[in-house]
Amino acid sequence: MIGRSLIWIDWKRMRGALLRESAVRFFLFLLLGAIFEAMLLSGGINRYMSDRWRVTAVLRLSVTAVEGEGMARKAAGLPEVHSAEYRSPETSWKEFVDAYPVMEALRAAGGNPLPGYVEIRMRPDRFTEGDFRSVETVLKPLPEVEKILSGGETLSRLLRVSRWMNIMFWAGYCILCAVSFSVFFLQEKARATLLSGDFEYLRERGVPARAIPLSRAAAAAFAGGLLSLAAMGATVSIFIALSGRLPAFSRVIGSYAEILSFPFLIPWALFIPASTILSGGASLLGWRAAQSRPR
């Protein structure tokens, strides 16, 4: 039994155990893939924060609706901005009265004292203090703008908290990856131990000692790649279904259309070879651990 036949030795000798282990691996790849996609799309908590924290460009009282709409288009064209919407003085007044109903009498006394404004939502991947300052630097000198409200020191504290939370999320994901690798390693070690007699039989008949672990690792890597590809396909289908039915899902995680965008596809594609390497590495280390056990 040489060459390609070595790749399938585990399948031929322990088919039932390998099927059960593959089911466990598919579940782990599904879990890792879902979290990975969610983290990429959401930016941790950046999408959630960008949906709730807005930059407000307060316009001068003399700015007309046409000029205000033009300001909104100009702001929306900035690379850091996800969307920008003009709110007229009338809308400003309605929002003010909704918040402070007792102030309704002010209008009867002297008209609408409030200006229009442009509400700006940042892109989740550009939700940083530098990007906020960049938007402020571009818009503040414009003659239509009275002032820019972005949060000041409160924003700085919020960004620090969100940065640490994102680090914690990715650290937790790395721990989950390490746990998954440990599961693969223990599976490979147990199988290599149970098949040690078969491997010894092959070595006695001239099969190179290095060919066995390398062939098994190649088979594990190939299977890991297929399982991770299937798991990622399943997670994409789940995300598309959820984003279509749950609006809150799109606001926190992201729209299914973004899954197919170029910035997302690059790291998404790296998940497959990473899973392949993880599976093959677990096989090699499991073999080494099984061979080092006292007989």
Domain end among 127, 159, 191: 159
Same domain, 124 and 268: no
Which positions ≥6 away from 221 have C-beta within 8 Å?
276, 277, 279, 280, 283
Same domain, 116 and 202: no
Output the pLDDT for position 293. 65
Average the pLDDT over 250-269 and give the result: 75
The answer to whether the beta carbons of residues 42 and 48 sit under 8 Å apart is yes
HEC readout, 142-168: CCCEEEEECCCHHHHHHHHHHHHHHHH
Share above pLDDT 90 across residues of the chain, in percent, rounded to a whole number? 29
11-21: per-residue pLDDT in tens?
777 788 888 99
Domain end among 138, 159, 180: 159
CA distance 173 to 37: 12
Average the pLDDT over 235-244 and give the result: 83
Same domain, 175 and 33: yes
For residue 268, how many C-alpha atoms fall within 13 Å in the half-sphere facing its CB? 19
Same domain, 244 and 207: yes
CA distances from 161 to 49, 50, 115, 124, 244 (A): 11, 14, 33, 15, 31
CA distance 30 to 51: 28
- The pTM of this model reads 0.80
Same domain, 83 and 146: yes
3-56: per-residue pLDDT in tens?
446 667 777 777 888 889 999 999 999 999 999 988 888 888 888 888 888 889
Same domain, 35 and 112: no
115 or 99: which leads in pLDDT: 115
The tally of domains found in the chain comes to 2
Alpha-carbon Rg for the chain, nearest whole angstrom, is: 29
CA distance 53 to 34: 26
Same domain, 285 and 142: no
> 104 falls in which pLDDT band (50, 70, 90)?
low
Same domain, 175 and 98: no
Single-letter code of the amino acid located at 255: S
Q: Which domain holds residue 91?
A: 50-159
Closest CA to 176 of 29, 32, 22: 32
Same domain, 100 and 173: no
Domain end among 159, 194, 213: 159
Same domain, 193 and 124: no
- CATH number of the domain that 55 lies in? 3.30.70.3040
Same domain, 171 and 268: yes
CA distances from 210 to 96, 115, 214, 249, 281 (A): 76, 77, 6, 50, 15
205 or 155: which leads in pLDDT: 155
CA distance 111 to 90: 11
Same domain, 10 and 79: no
